[in-house]
Amino acid sequence: AQSVTQPDIHITVSEGASLELRCNYSYGATPYLFWYVQSPGQGLQLLLKYFSGDTLVQGIKGFEAEFKRSQSSFNLRKPSVHWSDAAEYFCAVGSLNSNSGYALNFGKGTSLLVTP
Amino acid sequence: DVKVTQSSRYLVKRTGEKVFLECVQDMDHENMFWYRQDPGLGLRLIYFSYDVKMKEKGDIPEGYSVSREKKERFSLILESASTNQTSMYLCATGRASQETQYFGPGTRLLVL
């Protein structure tokens, strides 16, 4: 069965510092991988996704993620964090369901705090 | 832009009440999903639907039912609300041929 692990529950970074959020997955085939962000009290917004091709994908708000098959990882990075990046971040893996198309399996999330 | 709306942002109900949460999308997506989100547990899939009048159980369907009478509308029903159903409920939609899901703003339900 597929699973997604986000090892860090909370991360604190200073504004302007670089950021890396970790995501590891377990899935038999080539996965479809996603990062979503959730601001306080809001729904989830798609940051970026990987389906195939170039293993470094660019997303919105200056985020990027790198797919590493050998490490079963899809870590999210940003070179310089802004205070507005404080939010909860979810990694997800998609799998093909014979009836519905694709279903997503989410990690438990990483809460990012940005300090001045 | 995909627009997914949920009928209420905040809801307070009493134990035993029947609760309806409604989700509406304007993008003609085939798939619709209901998740609940709890601290430390992430998002867990309750039910999803891939077509009108079709539904499939997700990971935690107990205590819930769903209805999809029209393509754009997907309702989550709590037949007899209990305190352990206090949670944030998120609706999502997506095309059958694509993996990306688009989320509504969520409904925060408190059952007293």
The predicted model gives A51-70 an average pLDDT of: 93
| pLDDT tens digits, B38-50 | 988 889 999 999 8
A96 pLDDT band, cuts 50/70/90, is low
Q: Which residues is A10 bridged to in the sheet?
A: A111
Which 8-state DSSP code applies to residue A61? G
**A5, A50, A77, A10 alpha-carbon torsion, rounded to 10°:** -30
Judge: B50–A100 Cβ closer than 8 Å, yes or no.
yes
pLDDT at A28: 67
The CA distances from residue B92 to A31, A55, A58, A72, in Å, are: 20, 27, 23, 26
pLDDT at A99: 53
**Which of A67, A63, A107 shows the shortest CA–CA distance to A85?**
A63
Half-sphere exposure of A45 (CA within 13 A, CB side): 15
Judging contacts by C-beta atoms under 8 Å, the chain A residues touching residue B45 are 103-104
Distance from the Cα of A16 to chain B's closest Cα (Å) equals 28
| pLDDT tens digits, A19-49 | 999 999 987 677 889 999 999 878 899 999 9
Q: How far is C-alpha A8 from the geometric centre of its chain's CA atoms?
A: 12
| B96, closest residue in chain A (CA to CA) | A101
- What lies within 8 Å, CB to CB, of A55 at 6+ separation is A66, A67, A68, A69
Distance from the Cα of B17 to chain A's closest Cα (Å) equals 25
Judge: A43–B56 Cβ closer than 8 Å, yes or no.
no
| B5, closest residue in chain A (CA to CA) | A43
E-only strand ranges, chain A = 3-5, 10-14, 19-21, 24-26, 32-38, 44-50, 56-58, 64-68, 73-78, 87-97, 101-106, 110-115
Minimum-distance CB partner of B43 among A9, A99, A106: A106
Judging contacts by C-beta atoms under 8 Å, the chain B residues touching residue A41 are 106, 108
CB proximity A28 to B under 8 Å = no
- The C-alpha atoms of residue A15 and residue B43 are separated, in whole angstroms, by 28
